[in-house]
Amino acid sequence: MDASFERSVHLPAKSLKALKGRSDIRGWLKVASHIGAIAINSILLFSTLGSWLTLPFFMLQGILINCLYAGVHELSHNTVFKTQGINELFGRLFCLILLMGRDQDKFEHFQHHRHTQNVELDAEIVGAKPFTLLTYLVYFFGLSYWPGRIAEVFRLASGDTQSWPYLSAVQLKKVHKEARLMLLIYLSILLISLVFQSTLLLTLWLLPMFAMKWFQMLQNTVEHTGMPHVDDIWLNTRTVKAGPVMQWLLWNMPYHTAHHTYPMIPFYRLPDLHRQIVAEAGDQPNTISHIGFQRQMIRKLLTDGSSKYSGRDILEYK
């Protein structure tokens, strides 16, 4: 996923070689810190059940779980660990937690990188409908996302081939098998919970994950929504102003223009990559804060009423 798209900024080969290096140690540190944070917060959430102290731990649980998608994203690029088998292992584990197929997400995301903002070929926006304020808020808070995500797993498990025109026959066969295995695993988890009459999976996993999807949507919606449909990463992708806590939670994905410019660079080197491409370009990429984007998006939708703006349409920011 390196030479199939246009860049306005090109770094010297020597600089890229220095940035490309992958490390199992750095990968383990990141994965352990994220999983460790979930484990510690799970204990705190469980120990405060029934009190008002539950609420902040419930919210943090949902944030930490949803932000595993940033890890899924990086693991799909096989850049977290030098050892590729470990990328595969944690990629599948994180996807299972997030109710999504690893193979399906990987195939779709590669299409997204090859054809960013191409309304006919970018798998992450193909068929996207324009937002109204209502549909945007429903999407942002996960009210349409989770039903769609769950229904997608069932459709794939049933062998549906109509909804994924960008997948080859070989890829479809793989994602169908993956979805059936996922349903088998989820059914097993459900049966174990029923046998032990346990609600822990609801309390520590599903409910916080469903409730706090909006936090991950802060990043998901800002990256490309409303950017021009041109074959130039510098123009069709945004960078996000974010502090160290958000960068940690989102695995440095706020440096999104840098990531799209050179997606083979590990997430822990994106701050350096960002600085180098800014220096090379002599300019900053299109940049906004998470909250600033949401304010402008909602203002635009309020102003225009039934808006034509979505991930497929240009939404300009001044």
pLDDT of 227 > 70? The answer is yes
User: How high is the pLDDT of residue 128?
Assistant: 81
pLDDT of 304 > 90? The answer is no
Confidence of residue 130 (pLDDT cuts 50, 70, 90): confident
User: pLDDT by residue (tens digit) across 164-192?
Assistant: 888 899 999 999 999 999 999 999 999 99
Cα gap 252→254, rounded to integer Å: 5
DSSP letter for 23, please.
-
Provide mean pLDDT across the span 40-65.
97
Name which residue leads in pLDDT, 72 or 12.
72
Q: What DSSP element (H or E) covers 289?
A: strand 287-289
Task: Supply the pTM of this predicted model.
Answer: 0.93
Closest to 225 (Cα-Cα) out of 122, 315, 129, 111: 315
Name which residue leads in pLDDT, 41 or 126.
41
User: How high is the pLDDT of residue 265?
Assistant: 97
CB 286 within 8 A of CB 277: no
Beta bridge partners of residue 287, listed in sequence order = 239
Provide mean pLDDT across the span 69-93.
97
User: How high is the pLDDT of residue 305?
Assistant: 59
Provide mean pLDDT across the span 84-99.
97
Mean pLDDT of the chain: 91
Beta bridge partners of residue 289, listed in sequence order = 241
pLDDT of 103 > 90? The answer is yes
CB 116 within 8 A of CB 312: no
Provide mean pLDDT across the span 120-125.
88
pLDDT of 154 > 70? The answer is yes
Cα gap 62→65, rounded to integer Å: 5
pLDDT of 257 > 80? The answer is yes
pLDDT of 3 > 80? The answer is no
pLDDT of 2 > 60? The answer is no
Confidence of residue 129 (pLDDT cuts 50, 70, 90): confident
Confidence of residue 13 (pLDDT cuts 50, 70, 90): confident
CB neighbour burial string for 254-282, b if at least 16 within 10 angstroms, e if fewer: bbbbbbbbbbebbbbbbeebbebbbeeee
Confidence of residue 15 (pLDDT cuts 50, 70, 90): confident
Name the percent of the chain lying above pLDDT 70.
93
User: How high is the pLDDT of residue 4?
Assistant: 45
Q: What angle separates helix 84-97 from helix 68-76, to the nearest 10 degrees? A: 140
Confidence of residue 315 (pLDDT cuts 50, 70, 90): very low
